[in-house]
Structure 1
């Protein structure tokens, strides 16, 4: 189940990138946000009118994070490829895991990740600095997403905060998506790619992870998350025919290793692990149901 969820997420991102020629990253993100909003609202049935100002503020902040995170991630995928984009985005949860730590092993993980990023950004004719910058912005957004999700989990039951944020983000992208559809008039094939990205990257992982987290320890799931950059590289190679050089492979491996070691070292710190999982699985929803 965990492998299927991770693969679905990466295949969804790869499928969405197939619609870039007709919709561009912004158009694909718009469709994905619409799909995610419909899914979350349908599952959680939030009572928006009952939300207080204290509950709406972090929800609106999370909506802004959603909008920027997905747009910068898909822009990075378009410019530097799926594998490197997802690898850079993964620096977000890694940073959250390491920020409050003072252990030598975690400082070592931060150093390894920093060196890996420096390697990926080294000057060469094919270096796409804008794509790398978008990947790093997506990472910062994911870190903010984790912290905001924790706040929403204490103020709203289940995943209603995420549903509210998805709905606001979908509304923000509504005029953007409509403009793109009217001016580009994409064929049904490209629209289907974008819808498939929303289903595979939002619906399937959300539902499958809910089931998986009831059967396995959270620490193990956090460790398994470290395989996502590797899966992204493999899916990018198989589906999109994107290849990496040896140096890029080593940088990706270094970031994966740093994340895995950081999560493993926090095996006794359930709070830290849950903060990371909240960004990927809406762990607060599972805990409230239990």
Structure 2
């Protein structure tokens, strides 16, 4: 259990350190340039592993994949631009509202309404709207949250219709293709710098590849519910990474806002995993789904999958007859 917790902590730290490292390249590449490099890295890794047969895709498989690729690109660009404007801790915390919204969507229970109210209160305390507030940065963080919510819903569809890693590999390739004009523009303008490219590549590895491998290991060592609740620590890790690596010191009200949102998310995930899965609540053998709030283990068509995360790619375990819990990894890391 302790090894599993250490692995989860390492995964979360890698995710947010990668985002902070990528921010060092903003001055040269801009947020769009950093996202482009990260998409290329994620696409290369996923494509080499999955090798999806695109010619065999039907339209029912293509449309969620195409939308997922568009969401990948929009989510990462809005998040990185928000990081550039309001800082890593605030941006990741706002983005975290996406999975929380999915967890609470459609619920009419008083408890879930209280969780939603708690999240709204946390956002207000976090931002403390005023004349000096960067509303564009806050809006971009909320856009990233909306994209994360859409990512979860689209992943459910694409993961059910495509085997293995085919969906995330194809979607990441679509996203990388959309960013080719950004790469061409950087080349034409002579903005490519070896150090900046290295920062962006390192960000892709730390925020995509490392969390993917670490989360798969962690899920073999800790209960799925614990994994889901532990994802709530990502905004805190983002704030610490922003402070240590980028020198982005948070004010007291920002720390309080982050704490309220993290606590609300953890409580909502815990309550959802116990109330919606009676077997787990009774200590039985039913399995809940870890990762992003509200995610459940859906009936598997062969093999279930896993989203990688910070950088958002979905993975599937491939041992015949053996299922792994589906997880939607958290934040700052996506393809």
Q: TM-score normalised to the size of structure 1?
A: 0.94
The CA distance in 2 between the partners of 1:195 and 1:131, in whole Å, is 24
The CA distance in 1 between the partners of 2:181 and 2:90, in whole Å, is 30
Give unmatched runs, 5+ long, in structure 2.
Answer: 1-6, 277-287, 299-304, 323-335
Preserved CA contact (<8 Å) 2:225 2:273: yes
The CA distance in 2 between the partners of 1:19 and 1:162, in whole Å, is 26
Deviations 1:59-103 (A, max 9, x none): 000011001000000000000000000000000000001113333
TM-fit CA distance, 1:284? 6.0
Q: Judge which range, 196-205 or 206-215, deviates more.
A: 206-215
SS of 2:296's equivalent in the other structure is helix
Preserved CA contact (<8 Å) 1:158 1:288: no
Structure 2 residue 106 is matched with structure 1 residue 100: yes
CA 1:84 to 1:67, structure 2 compared with 1: closer, same or farther past 3 Å? same
Deviations 1:134-191 (A, max 9, x none): 0000000000000000111110112211111000100110121221233143321111
Structure 2 residue 234 is matched with structure 1 residue 228: yes
The CA distance in 2 between the partners of 1:68 and 1:264, in whole Å, is 29
Aligned to 2:67: 61
Preserved CA contact (<8 Å) 1:274 1:283: no
Structure 2 residue 203 is matched with structure 1 residue 197: yes
Structure 2 residue 83 is matched with structure 1 residue 77: yes
The CA distance in 2 between the partners of 1:44 and 1:238, in whole Å, is 36
TM-fit CA distance, 1:26? 0.3
Aligned to 2:58: 52
Preserved CA contact (<8 Å) 1:9 1:205: yes
The CA distance in 2 between the partners of 1:140 and 1:62, in whole Å, is 13
Structure 2 residue 8 is matched with structure 1 residue 2: yes
CA 1:143 to 1:273, structure 2 compared with 1: closer, same or farther past 3 Å? same
Matches within 5 A, 1:257-272: 257-268=263-274, 269=276, 270=288, 272=294
CA 1:288 to 1:130, structure 2 compared with 1: closer, same or farther past 3 Å? farther
The CA distance in 1 between the partners of 2:130 and 2:111, in whole Å, is 32
The answer to which structure has the higher helix fraction is 1
State the Cα RMSD in Å. Answer: 1.9
Give unmatched runs, 5+ long, in structure 1.
Answer: none
Structure 2 residue 190 is matched with structure 1 residue 175: no
Aligned to 1:273: 295
CA 1:129 to 1:231, structure 2 compared with 1: closer, same or farther past 3 Å? same
TM-fit CA distance, 1:209? 1.3
1:114 to 108, 115, 120: 120
Preserved CA contact (<8 Å) 2:168 2:314: no
1:27 to 23, 26, 33: 33
The CA distance in 2 between the partners of 1:220 and 1:287, in whole Å, is 23
Preserved CA contact (<8 Å) 1:149 1:278: no
2:161 to 155, 162, 167: 155
Preserved CA contact (<8 Å) 1:121 1:129: no
SS of 2:221's equivalent in the other structure is coil
Aligned to 2:258: 252
